[in-house]
Amino acid sequence: MKRLLVVIFLVASGCAIVPQNRRGQLADPIMSLEQDSLEAHKRAKFYSTREGAAGGDGEPAGGGCGCQ
Amino acid sequence: MIRRLFALALVIFAPAFGAHADEPLSDSAILGAPPGFTIESLRLRFTHYDQEGRGYQSQADRPQVSQPGSEAVTVEQPQLEVVANQGKFTHRLWVPVDIVTAASPDALDAISSASRTNEAASLDLTSTYHLSHESDLFLRGGFHLEEPFRSWNLGVGGSRSFADDNTVISASLNQVFDWLDRFNIFGTRLGRDYRSSTNANLGVTQLLSPTTVAHLEYGVTVQLGQLSNTWNAVPLATGNLAEERLPSLRHRHAFVGRLAQALPWHGAIHGFYRFYVDNWGILAHSFEVALYQRFSSFGYVRLNYRVHHQTAPYFWTPSAAANAQYRSADSDLADFTAQTLGALVAVDLRFVRRVQSMHLDFGYERYFRTNDLRVNIYTCALGFVF
């Protein structure tokens, strides 16, 4: 928990307001942290049906081992 | 005569025109009436999976009880997504389909090849209400249909941006209820069973610089009920096969960090780390890096590499005791390291008539892991933004 707080503190302390007119590079689709939703589902489904440690974040996991 | 009549008309109607001009103009008076319902985008993705390998839970092509069975499978996965705007609402309709051809995922195929195809389809609708420029709320509902399995899901969530959109905080809550047929390892149907999954997520996205963006997320899922594929087999120390037995409660925690950094040569690098832990004793670390490179203003190439390591739950064994309270030999729950290597080419064409842009991409990934599983993944997509 302490490590998590340290990470949050470091991230937050590094935050400087980026004005709208300096976000040109951030607007490029290749900078998007969110994948194309259909590709994101493809990946989530693939890993949740093959790795017992998948799921638990974002989308609810499927079966016990994630095999459903 | 005409001039006198025109002057008289001006005197009579001028006050009316004047009064009208003093009223503030509304948005609709300037822009016209807002459209009631417009299609924003339409996308299709098709993915083909070709898997080979062996796992102890499978009874397909099993030479001996003590040796693993085949996990050979092919999957065709078409998906359709339509996004539409309706005033302050955005609706997303999503229909994924899975057509699985294999011996191991179907209960009947555990003992025969009577049905080598298993079809599954879902229907999912998400409606987002744009409260303001800073705030969104969404509600989602869906239904999943599969041969021995029905599932319903409902979710609610929202996001709010701060500091001129430099920080976005998001939260969501999801509930899934599964209703499934229960089979034994000989393919005999024993009745109905259920499973409940409750999931909550909290995330924050932060701009760190004009070229850097980061995201942190925590998700927790609590599952109750029948958490097994009930026809999964477990080899016993006595030389027989028996059914899998899993605890009926599972707490799952996942911490995720993402970072995207723009590169000076029209590229970007993405980093991803995920830590996972649950009350069954599974602990996992996943790392991923993706390199994007633009080859023109309308196209780019992506190379990605992922490595995942997980430990097995405390009850995992390839040779269980007959009286064990819990036991599993599922290769997906085992201790293993998995790697994924992939490449994708994408173009966004903006000179197509009647659409803002047309998206095309083609990709390939190779997944392989240390406990005998290999998958080739081929994917392509076609999308239109109107």
Q: Which candidate in A3, A10, A57, A67 is best for mutational testing of the B interface (most B CBs within 10 A)?
A: A57
Q: Which residues of A touch B221 (CB under 8 A)?
A: 55-57, 60-61
Q: What is the pLDDT of residue B18?
A: 45
Of residues A6 and B249, more confidence is placed in B249
Q: Which residues contact B49 (CB under 8 A, 6 or more apart)?
A: A46, B73, B74, B75, B77, B375, B376, B377
The 3-class secondary structure across chain B, one letter per residue, is CHHHHHHHHHHHHHHHHHHHHHCCCCHHHHHCCCCCCEEEEEEEEEEEEEEEEEECCCCCCCCCCCCCEECCEEEEEEEEEEEEEECCEEEEEEEEEEEEEECCCCCHHHCCCCCCEEEEEEEEEEEEEECCCCEEEEEEEEEEEECCEEEEEEEEEEEEEECCCCEEEEEEEEEEEEEEEEECCCCCEEEEEEEEEEEEEEEEEEEEECCEEEEEEEEEEEEEECCCCCCCEEEECCCCEEECECCCEEEEEEEEEEEEEEECCCEEEEEEEEEEEECCCCEEEEEEEEEEEEEECCEEEEEEEEEEEECCCCCECCCECCCCCCEECCHHHCCEEEEEEEEEEEEEECCCCCCCEEEEEEEEEEEEECCCEEEEEEEEEEEEEC
pLDDT band at A67 (very low <50, low <70, confident <90, very high): very low
Q: Residues of B272-286 as b/e, b for ≥16 C-beta within 10 angstroms?
A: bebebbbebebebeb
Q: How far is A31 from chain B (nearest CA, A)?
A: 6
Q: Which candidate in A42, A43, A45 is best for mutational testing of the B interface (most B CBs within 10 A)?
A: A42
In chain A, the N- to C-terminal Cα span, in Å, equals 33
CA B316 to CA B331: how far, in whole Å? 9
- Which tens digit of pLDDT belongs to each residue from B309-338? 999 999 999 999 999 999 999 999 999 999
Summary mean pLDDT of chain B? 88
CA B252 to CA B312: how far, in whole Å? 14
Number of A–B residue contacts, CB under 8 Å: 193
Q: Which of residues 101-160 of B touch A (CB under 8 A)?
A: 105, 146, 149, 151, 153
**In this complex, do B163 and A17 lie within 8 Å of one another by their Cβ atoms?**
yes
Q: Which of residues 218-277 of B touch A (CB under 8 A)?
A: 218-221, 223, 226-229, 232, 246, 250, 252-258, 260, 262, 267-268, 270, 274, 276
Of residues B46 and B113, more confidence is placed in B46
- Which tens digit of pLDDT belongs to each residue from B54-90? 988 888 888 888 889 888 888 899 999 999 999 999 9
Q: Can you say whether the dihedral through the CA atoms of B124, B340, B102, B282 is positive or negative?
A: negative
**In this complex, do A53 and B220 lie within 8 Å of one another by their Cβ atoms?**
no
Q: Which of residues 274-333 of B touch A (CB under 8 A)?
A: 274, 276, 278, 282-284, 286, 292, 294, 300, 302, 308, 310, 313, 328, 330, 332-333
Contact B226, B186 (CB under 8 A): no
**In this complex, do A39 and B45 lie within 8 Å of one another by their Cβ atoms?**
yes
**In this complex, do A65 and B332 lie within 8 Å of one another by their Cβ atoms?**
yes
Q: Which residues contact B267 (CB under 8 A, 6 or more apart)?
A: A30, B291, B292, B293, B294
Residue A34 has pLDDT above 50, yes or no: yes
- Is this complex scored with an ipTM above 0.95? no
CA B369 to CA B333: how far, in whole Å? 13
Q: What is the CA radius of gyration of chain B?
A: 28
- Which tens digit of pLDDT belongs to each residue from B221-278? 999 999 888 888 899 999 999 999 999 999 999 999 999 999 999 999 999 999 999 9
Least trusted range by pLDDT, from A48-57, B90-99, B140-149, B290-299: A48-57
How distant is the alpha carbon of residue B332 from its chain centre? 19
CA B36 to CA A25: how far, in whole Å? 34
**Other Cβ atoms within 10 Å of B249 Cβ, number:** 12
**In this complex, do B219 and A11 lie within 8 Å of one another by their Cβ atoms?**
no
Q: What is the mean pLDDT of residues B119-143?
A: 94
Q: Which residues of A touch B228 (CB under 8 A)?
A: 63-65
Question: Could you tell me which residues are beta bridge partners of residue B69?
Answer: B55
pTM, two decimal places: 0.85
Helix (H) or strand (E) holding A42: helix A37-48
Q: Residues of B15-30 as b/e, b for ≥16 C-beta within 10 angstroms?
A: eeeeeeeeeeeeeeee
**In this complex, do B47 and A61 lie within 8 Å of one another by their Cβ atoms?**
no
Reported as half-sphere exposure (CB side, CA atoms, 13 A), residue B370 has a value of 11
Contact A59, A42 (CB under 8 A): no
Q: Which candidate in B77, B327, B332 is best for mutational testing of the A interface (most A CBs within 10 A)?
A: B332
Show the tokens assigned to B240: 């027989």
The SS3 call for residue A38 is: helix
